[in-house]
Amino acid sequence: MSRSSRARLGDILIACRIIEDYATRTDDDGIVFDAIRIRLIEIGEAVKDLDPSVTAPEPDIPWGDIAQMRDQLAHRYFDTSHAIVMATARNDIPLLKSAVERLLDGERGQ
């Protein structure tokens, strides 16, 4: 059974909040890096299940790149750049979180 778009957006929002918490911790902690990486994979998987019409109201978010990052993190983990993962967590996740919150708020208004 497929989950609803609202449920998928909720999954993304939860993962974003967790990543923001983890990203405040030390950079050199391998467990934190691994935890952030797996949450990024979760986000990418949820994004892949969203119909483009759901994400269309937020065109500034690179939805396709998020899905591609999931594939990179899941299948080429030995080639994963620590700096890119941490920069994504600190710089991109807050933007994604805000966009998902707006999408969820927009669904409530309908």
Q: Annotated active-site positions, please?
A: 70, 75
CA distance linking residue 29 with residue 54, whole number of Å: 36
Helix axes 5-23, 93-108, angle to 10 degrees: 150
Q: Any idea how long the chain is?
A: 110
What is the sign, positive or negative, of the torsion defined by CA atoms of 8, 93, 88, 33? negative
Confirm if 67 and 47 have CB atoms less than 8 A apart.
yes
